[in-house]
Structure 1
Amino acid sequence: MDADACPVKEEITDISKVFGLKVIFIASNAHRKNTPEAGEWVYVDSSKEAADLYIMNHIKKGDLLVTQDIGLASIVLPKGVYAISPRGKEFREETISTALDFRYLSAKERRKGKFGKGPKPYTAEDRDRFVFTFKKILSNFAGNQ
């Protein structure tokens, strides 16, 4: 779990307990908490991509990653990892290249000085969609064992 700035940590821990799954949060030292949520916490260097690099090097087939980073999702999907966003969007190998293309075009526009409105505020509907998708994936895991 890419824990830096993730709005659904509590939902992840609560739902994972129901399914009897271990949760590992990966966060930079800059996001260290005095009283972290339940689950195992791994803190990495505060450099820009340290959490992503840790995840890429430790995640394995069948794991479920929660991240808002499309680039990170695109790297772990070919490993047989499930990836979803905190808004409940399931990343899939067949559609990730389109998402990466849009990310590239947006970055290109920003370099030209054209800035959009930024991400939409996180809503209760986003949280509900996340919970639904997260439970659906974990239920599929349970059904395949």
Structure 2
Amino acid sequence: MKVVVDGDSCPSRNIIEKAARELSVEMEIFCDVNHHITSEYSKVIYMDSGFQSVDMAIFNSIKSGDIVVTGDFGVASMVIGKKAYAISPKGYVFDEDNMDRLLFERHISQKVRRSGGRTQGPKKRLKEDDVRLYESLKTLIMKANE
């Protein structure tokens, strides 16, 4: 079991790394070559900057029981399909029960934007998000190790 981070869309890598280190879990961070990420604990894997290159590399590297931290609903959906766990950078766990709704909401928002409308951007990150991520990730790691 390992923790895999979508480094292109994850502002809280230090919190994820803290939880992985405390529970002695391997961690990999995937990002494209336009990002500069360093880590003393995690393995950083750079991909070409092509469309979906990081997402596909993550999907190809994970196994059942791995944990993927991503803010991308499409990646989360593919991860769940592989019987792995997906969690957002704000600590919300994605699962089969909420994935269809999230993908549908994303679809509707895309339609609104394509027709010239505006949608609300992401909410500002709060301290509570960091606490939720840390606690939820530790819970998932323990669950995956059962």
Distance in 1 of aligned mates of 2:54 and 2:44: 12
Q: 1:95 aligns with which of 95, 98, 106?
A: 98
Q: Of 124, 127, 136, which aligns to 1:121?
A: 124
Match of 1:2 among 3, 6, 10: 6
**TM-superposed deviation, 1:32:** 2.4
1:117 is displaced (CA, Å) by 2.6
Q: What is the aligned partner in structure 2 of residue 83 from structure 1?
A: 86
Choose which of 27, 31, 34 in structure 2 pairs with 1:30.
Answer: 34
- Aligned-pair CA distance for 1:57: 1.1
C-alpha spacing 1:57/1:84, structure 2 compared with 1 (3 Å)? same
TM-score, normalised via structure 1 length: 0.92
SS at match of 2:71: coil
Q: Determine the C-alpha separation between the residues in 2 that align with 1:74 and 1:139.
A: 22
Identity level (%): 34
**Which residues of 2 match residues 43-62 of structure 1 at below 5 A?**
43-62=46-65
What is the Cα-based RMSD across aligned positions, in Å? 1.3
The alpha-carbon distance between structure 1 residues 114 and 132, as it changes in their structure 2 partners (threshold 3 A), is same
CA drift at 1:15: 1.1
Paired with 1:117 and 1:126, the residues of 2 have a C-alpha distance of 19
Unmatched tracts of structure 2, length 5 or more: none
Give 1:14's match in structure 2, choosing from 11, 14, 18: 18
How many residue pairs end up in the alignment?
Answer: 142
Q: TM-score, normalised by structure 2?
A: 0.92
Query: Contact 1:32 / 1:43 at 8 angstroms: preserved in 2?
Result: no
Secondary structure of the 2:89 match is coil
Unaligned runs of 5+ in 1: none
